[in-house]
Amino acid sequence: MEGKKVTISVIKADIGSLAGHHIVHPDLLATASRVLAEAKRKGLIIDFYVTGVGDDLQLIMTHTKGEDSPDIHGLAWDAFKKAAQVARDLGLYAAGQDLLSDAFSGNVKGMGPGVAEMEIEERKAEPIITFHADKTEPGAFNLPLFRVFADPFNTAGLVIDPRMHEGFRFQIMDVYEGRVVELSSPEEMYDILALIGTTGRYVVKRIYRKTDGMIAAVVSSERLNLIAGKYVGKDDPVAIVRAQHGLPAVGEVLEAFSFPHLVAGWMRGSHVGPLMPVAQRDAKCTRFDGPPRIVALGWQIKNGKLIGPADLFDDPAFDETRRTAQIVAEYIRRHGPFMPHRLGPEEMEYTTLPQVLEKLENRFKKVETHTGK
Ligand code: F6R
Ligand code: MG
Ligand code: MG
């Protein structure tokens, strides 16, 4: 099967959780696993792994149907629907939250779940990492992925390995306008940064190796509030990154997460906080519903089979990152409802804040100002 095409699909949704927005109940994991096991038995998928990260149910699947397959998306939808029913039966919190529509129409994109899919030609040995974050948004991957694929201070291979030396092509999505642009690193590095520094709008969607166009990374880009037009939950993102053998090493990929950078999405999807890399067992948000967390699962893909996972942030080497994140969390929390801890007005548009402002509208009185108006 070497050289054959295989697709890795990571599809996630928050369809109800235990004790508020804390963790996925084991019965939901079991229900989704049963649906996927049946699909594996029938030969629709090659392999699967079901897990929970914070309040998000995560489906990791391999198959040969390609990206955007109605069969695979339909399967994920079915797994979420059945698990959501269990969530309702158990009285879990926000049961069915991310399933924004009742009728499945061939693709889960735009319907609530987050999706990262990558069709690859399996290499002789195929190490990949799936990332799963909670209480943040797709733009949270902009900074670390830039560092992995464009910053030689993070990734030594950009300097040393001839297969990477030409750099990478970044496909960047404008999530407000639903359009993409491709920019080339290192030549257009500053243009890339000019866009992706605006994390709420421009999202790194895909990254390709320039020497041969090989796909190296993909990120989910769904933003629930933009789809629903109001705040209905957070777009906790997922990503797939290939590693080694002419791509960044697993350790170069992980190194980019050693800085707990500030991301949007904490408490009510309305606050900024540090992204804390954690072991799977610590992927449960508590303090102020956070702080935002990320899990990295390491896999080898063999004939489409998922070998693993290795829980990559389950390592004392990330203890200092976590400690820094705690200090940053402590510092930024003291701002309470003030910016920049609370998001700016553009981002608050999709929360309940506009209703508060509307209520106050006719209590505002015009006064003389010196602004020329
Ligand atoms: C959900 C999340 C939480 C909720 C918060 C309020 O993933 O990020 O911070 O936004 O717990 O939830 P409700 O409005 O459902 O009480
Ligand atoms: Mg939630
Ligand atoms: Mg979540």
DSSP letter for each residue of 37-97: HHHHHTTS-SEEEEEEETTEEEEEEEESS-TT-HHHHHHHHHHHHHHHHHHHHHT-BTTTT
Site residues for ligand 1, CB cut-off 6 Å: 20-21, 55, 94, 135, 233-234, 267-269, 289
Q: What residue's CA is closest to ligand 1, atom 3?
A: 268
Q: Any catalytic annotation for residue 231? A: yes
Residues with CB under 5 A from ligand 3 (ion): 14, 54-56, 134, 236
Distance 104 CA to ligand 2 centre (A): 22
**CA atoms in the 13 A half-sphere facing the CB of 203:** 29
Which own/partner contact pairs does 312-315 have at CB distance under 8 Å and 24+ positions apart?
A: 312/129, 312/250, 312/254, 313/254, 313/257, 313/277, 313/278, 313/279, 314/279, 314/280, 314/281, 315/279
Per-residue pLDDT tens over the stretch 145-200:
999 999 999 999 999 999 999 999 999 999 888 899 999 999 999 999 999 999 99
Nearest-angstrom CA–CA distance, 261 and 263: 6
Residues with CB under 5 A from ligand 2 (ion): 14, 21, 55
Nearest-angstrom CA–CA distance, 273 and 271: 7
Q: Any catalytic annotation for residue 234? A: yes
- Residue 18's DSSP bridge partners are 23
Q: What residue's CA is closest to ligand 1, atom 5?
A: 268
Distance 279 CA to ligand 2 centre (A): 19
Helix 70-90 vs helix 26-41: crossing angle, to nearest 10: 150
For ligand 1, pick from 137, 268, 355 the residue to mutate: most ligand atoms within 8 Å of CB.
268
Q: What residue's CA is closest to ligand 1, atom 6?
A: 268
Q: What local confidence, expressed as pLDDT, does residue 225 receive? A: 67
Q: What local confidence, expressed as pLDDT, does residue 233 receive? A: 59
Distance 169 CA to ligand 2 centre (A): 33
Q: What local confidence, expressed as pLDDT, does residue 288 receive? A: 97
Rg (CA), the chain: 21
**H or E element, residue 147:** helix 142-150
Distance 19 CA to ligand 1 centre (A): 11
Beta carbons of 269 and 136 less than 8 angstroms apart: no
- Count CB atoms within 10 A of the CB of residue 15: 30
Nearest-angstrom CA–CA distance, 253 and 38: 34
Using CB atoms within 10 A of its CB, is residue 195 exposed (0-12), middle (13-18) or buried (19+)? buried
Nearest-angstrom CA–CA distance, 45 and 53: 22
Tokens (6 digits) for 264: 């949007």
Q: What local confidence, expressed as pLDDT, does residue 373 receive? A: 56
Report the SS3 class of residue 197: coil
Q: What local confidence, expressed as pLDDT, does residue 306 receive? A: 98
Per-residue pLDDT tens over the stretch 305-341:
999 999 999 999 999 999 999 999 999 999 999 999 9
Q: Which residues of the chain have pLDDT under 50?
A: none
Q: Give residues with Cβ within 8 angstroms of 234, minimum separation 6.
A: 14, 135, 136, 137, 224, 265, 269
